[in-house]
Amino acid sequence: MDSTHHTPHPAVEPYRGDAELARLLKAAGIDRDVAGVRELLRGVRAAPEDVDPSHFLSLFGRDLPEELAAQLAALKSLIEAPPPPQVGDIAARVSALRAELSRMDLDGFVIPRADEFQGEYVPARSERLAWITGFTGSAGIAVVMRDRAAVFVDGRYTLQAEAQVSASLYERHHLTETFHGDWIAGIVKKGGRIGYDPWLHTVGWIDRMKTALGRAGAELVAVDTNPLDAIWHDRPSAPLGPVVAQALAQAGQSSADKRAEIAAELKRNGELAAVLTQPDGIAWLLNIRGGDVPNTPLPLSYALLTNDGDIDLFIDSRKLVPGLEVHLGNQVSVRKPEELRGALEAIGATGGKVRVDPVWTASWVFDRLTEAGARVVKERDPTVFRKAAKNTVEIAGTRAAHARDGVAVTRFLHWLSGAAAAGTLTEIEASDRLFEFRKEQPMFRGTSFDSISGAGPNGAIVHYRAAPETNRVLEKDSVYLIDSGGQYLDGTTDITRTVAVGTPPADAKRHFTLVLKGHIALATLRFPKGTTGSQIDILARQFLWAQGLDYDHGTGHGVGSFLSVHEESARIAKAPNTVAMVPGMILSNEPGYYRTGQYGIRIENLVLVRPAADIPGGDHPMMAFETLTLAPIDRNLIEPALLTEAEKAWLNAYHARVAEKVGPHLEADAAAWLATATAPI
């Protein structure tokens, strides 16, 4: 959900006590004691608030008696959500950690912004970096030594780290310019012991750190228990968002068929099994969705898939909704997460080949398998690229989701055209209003990432997050950028629109048009089989480069199907990428330009890779992009003289399609506004 929007709980009646709840549970035939219910609800409160505040009731069954549902809601309201991890006495925490390091005979400890799954979003209990430093960005790492400490963040978060991290406690460094391993090596004494939690790092990181520390004669030490967890006394519970089945009507392929396909590949390769540690891959494979982390419907879990199609799912069974076992079927065995160690050791003891993804899997998994005698095959998770190429049902679903999302975004843009004119509308108010428009759409399940709502100079901060202390008004004669997305049962959306508030600066119009030209260049591209995103990135930048301009982010990322908005796939960026684009992949097309202190510009649509129509005389079959996103691009920011006739034709055709698909679903005033907004240029 959008971090600036908080869905209120429905009005609840007073809690009538444990005895009454016990009576109601028994009457409903639910075999749970009140103490267990309280523990379950603590896990629910540790998960992100669902867009539907009553969704947690699915953990107790379907069609609950009203009186029982009301009492469960009442008890849930009495259980406080975990406090933000960054709130508290950071200096006291650092001091306590140093005492714990001394007790463990460690000279330092590395704290990444990561959990056991190496995902983009982490649950509250895994926000260790925020808890020990105060820094709440999505990427970073800290090192706490006996007498020094440092935090490392990338360029997106330089200003945020300066604001949130005490300079008296931590040195601040650029993540890519200064490797934290080298920083440690520069100050650690020979024989020093630097601790790390093997659940929170990959084997690639281990190798790099050992090399850096080895030069200083220091040792990298895996710890059995994280010293930070030992001092985080009010650490949140593990999240227990309900895990539900994804209907075949949205998935398009049964879990049994997916597992059989992968099992056959494992067998061909002589591999006994694959260890799966990416929750989005497990969700895709089993056709399930959860609610353990913000913005993405993930059921945090691990899985072990054998070459006969059987699968062990390591997950807290309390978050599986009643009846899910029927959906999972007989080939899926639900096991406790703590049983993973024994399962890895057992399969390792056979001495057979076991596939493990070296990019995303925690080094702890490799350690267990290697020590048990397995022949570890470092290959990519077999779900990664299968998941990236959507099937026909998923493609139909994402088209439908984008049509509904287009209605919500267009209503918002119409509303914004009037609301911003007064000069009092704030970034947070605008973002919250867009959330409400989306919430009215069928099948909406929350936002797909925290909205970037940037007015004027805040729009020039690429990954800006509006907060009370930075919340700007959308001033007259300025530029406003809103990057947002929705999670729907049938698709995931991601769209950026840059809007003129009043009369925009002339430079902003010129820059916007250059960005638009790059966007159109990608949208209209035809390309052969085997083409990678790094081979086409220049097309989006060429018009900016010609004017001595550029942007410092990628041009396109993969997008899931009611899963991760940043999905591993082909990627359109300067950095080399060996993953070829194939039909069914969904990518973003989002060139931009950012003038520090003035404005930010980005135009983002999602596109589907599909076969292109044959051209007479052509020698090779080609692919093309189909634009999925449906919302007007602000004509008030366009300099028509800078567009070619072909570019105008694309824009006019796109706007005609937006009007056709979205217009009939709007109220009369919004429809009239859209007709003007999409008029030919």
Residue range 145-162, pLDDT digits in tens:
999 999 999 877 888 899
| H or E element that contains 492 | strand 491-492
Confidence of residue 11 (pLDDT cuts 50, 70, 90): low
Q: What is the mean pLDDT of the chain?
A: 96
What is the model's pLDDT at position 155?
Answer: 77
Tokens representing 395 are 């493609």
Report how far apart, in Å, the C-alpha atoms of 505 and of each of 418, 460, 598, 632 are.
20, 15, 10, 20
DSSP calls for 424-469: --BHHHHHHHHHHHHHTSTTEEEESS--EEEEGGGGGSTT----TT
The candidate with the shortest Cα–Cα distance to 500, out of 480, 520, 516, is 480
pLDDT value, residue 5? 38
4 has pLDDT over 70: no
**Does 9 score more than 80 pLDDT?**
no
pLDDT digits (tens, 9 = 90+) for 221-267: 999 999 999 999 999 999 999 999 999 999 999 999 999 999 999 99
Residues 6+ apart with CB under 8 A from 389: 582, 583, 584, 585
- Whether the per-residue pLDDT at 465 is higher than 70: the answer is yes
Query: Is residue 305 within 8 Å of residue 263, measured between CB atoms?
Result: yes
pLDDT 10s digits, 501-550: 999 999 999 999 999 999 999 999 999 999 999 999 999 999 999 999 99
Place of tokens 């996103």: 629
What's the mean pLDDT in 173-194?
Answer: 96
- Mean of the pLDDT values across residues 332-355? 98
Q: What is the pLDDT of residues 618-661, one digit of tens each?
A: 889 999 999 999 999 999 999 999 999 999 999 999 999 999 99
At 8 the pLDDT is 39
What pLDDT was estimated at residue 533? 98
What DSSP character marks residue 276? E
The whole-number average pLDDT for the span 328-336 is 98
Q: What is the pLDDT of residue 154?
A: 87
Mean pLDDT of 183-196: 97
Token pair listed for 644: 């070619």
Query: In the prediction, which pLDDT does 100 show?
Result: 98
Q: With bands split at pLDDT 50, 70 and 90, how would you rate the model's confidence at 615?
A: confident
Q: Which of 126-135, 156-165, 387-396 has the lowest mean pLDDT?
A: 156-165
Flag whether pLDDT at 597 surpasses 80: yes
* Least confident range of 104-108, 125-129, 154-158, 234-238: 154-158
**What's the rounded Cα separation, in Å, for the pair 192 and 219?**
6
- Structural contact between residues 188 and 213, judged by C-beta atoms closer than 8 angstroms: yes
Residues paired with residue 60 on neighbouring β-strands, in sequence order: none
Q: What is the pLDDT of residues 192-217, one digit of tens each?
A: 999 999 999 999 999 999 999 999 99
Percent of the chain topping pLDDT 90? 94
